Amino acid sequence: MGSLSGPVLRVDAAVLHANIAAVSARVAPSVLMMVVKDDGYGLGAAWAARIAVGAGVGWLGTYDIPTAILLRQEIGSGPRLFAWATSADEEIDAALRADVDLGVGTLDYLRRVIARAEALGAEARIHLKVDTGLHRNGLSAAEWDQGVAEALQAQEAGRALLVGAWSHLAEASDEEDDAAQARFLAAVARAGELGAELPYRHLTASAATWARPELRGTLVRVGAFCFGIRSADGPDLPGVAPAAELVATVVAIDGDAAVAGIGSFDGLPSTLAGRVRVGTPAGPRTLLAVEPDAVRVASWEGAAVGDEIVLFGRGASGEETPTTLAEAIGTVGEEILCRLTPRVRREDC
């Protein structure tokens, strides 16, 4: 059955729009930076960015610079773009030309960004990252004064604007996150003493943003919840729903199974078989097997070639959401969505 066509991802602009409105309302007066990394959590970064801007979002976070450049072309010059991957000089140059805000977490990267701004006669918009305990990236307490001083010196020379401070939380326990926030606020206060204003202060991603208002800064960076992916084992999110469904078409009825083609799509872990239900025209049915180019589903009265099976979605036909699918095999919803490569066909609904 090697010629079976793959599943279709139906992305729902109205749902994404409503999710963004719900998240924005919940976080106010903090401002939403919508994170669209990993190709917009599998739904399409450019698609998501257009809808976000239409919904009034003024900040988009991309992780890497190439995605930010792509989005700048897509959405024009108004909204701010934030890329935080430590990047090569050619990418820094492209970011400076496209007016992308840069997240900077090492002294070496800070110096390279400033050097590239000097070389191009540009002004780099910099958000300095504080190491608040994850020790992955971020200026340590010992490096902080030096980083702030060098950024301010570049600002005096017209080659930088030190606009923000940021960090990332482990979200493992409230106590750890509280301690991280205390380190973050101390760094912001110290930068103030050194003469930096830092209007943009951001620390939290989806879970902490939603549940812990006291940790929010002037900006919050929210990805998963905007796309309707709730946390595994986390609370329900009022006003927020999965913004896409993955649909396959029945190609054969084989005894007690309806067989639906998934082509070369290899994004469904075979360990899901027997553990989850998918949506069918007759309601939820057990997923029996995931094969190289097809799935087998417990059949139903009147099942026919051409019927649609919803592999995951919002639950409208009894299917799992990305998160409940993920919970069945001990992972997170992002993991399921990030298996959707750009080769999976998209349809707007």
Ligand X SMILES: *Cc1c(COP(=O)(O)O)cnc(C)c1O
Point out which residues bind ligand X (CB under 6 A): 35, 37, 84, 168, 205-206, 221-224
Q: What is the DSSP string of 44-70?
A: -HHHHHHHHHHTT--EEEEESHHHHHH
For the bound state, the minimum distance from the C-beta of residue 231 to ligand X, rounded and expressed in Å, comes to 8
Q: Based on CB atoms, which residue is closest to ligand X, 171 or 245?
A: 171
For the bound state, the minimum distance from the C-beta of residue 255 to ligand X, rounded and expressed in Å, comes to 42
Q: Based on CB atoms, which residue is closest to ligand X, 231 or 299?
A: 231
CA 72 remoteness from chain centre: 17
For the bound state, the minimum distance from the C-beta of residue 323 to ligand X, rounded and expressed in Å, comes to 12
**Beta-sheet strands, E only, within 142-268:** 160-166, 200-202, 219-222, 244-254, 257-261
**Beta-sheet strands, E only, within 37-132:** 59-63, 80-83, 101-104, 124-129
Q: Based on CB atoms, which residue is closest to ligand X, 23 or 196?
A: 23
For the bound state, the minimum distance from the C-beta of residue 315 to ligand X, rounded and expressed in Å, comes to 21
Enumerate residues 6+ apart whose C-beta is below 8 A from 348. 10, 11, 12, 13
Q: Based on CB atoms, which residue is closest to ligand X, 147 or 223?
A: 223
Neighbouring CB atoms inside 10 A of 16's CB total 27
Q: Based on CB atoms, which residue is closest to ligand X, 80 or 221?
A: 221
Q: Give the pair of three-digit tokens for residue 310.
A: 């919803």
For the bound state, the minimum distance from the C-beta of residue 112 to ligand X, rounded and expressed in Å, comes to 20
By C-alpha distance, which of 65, 75, 156 is closest to 104?
A: 65
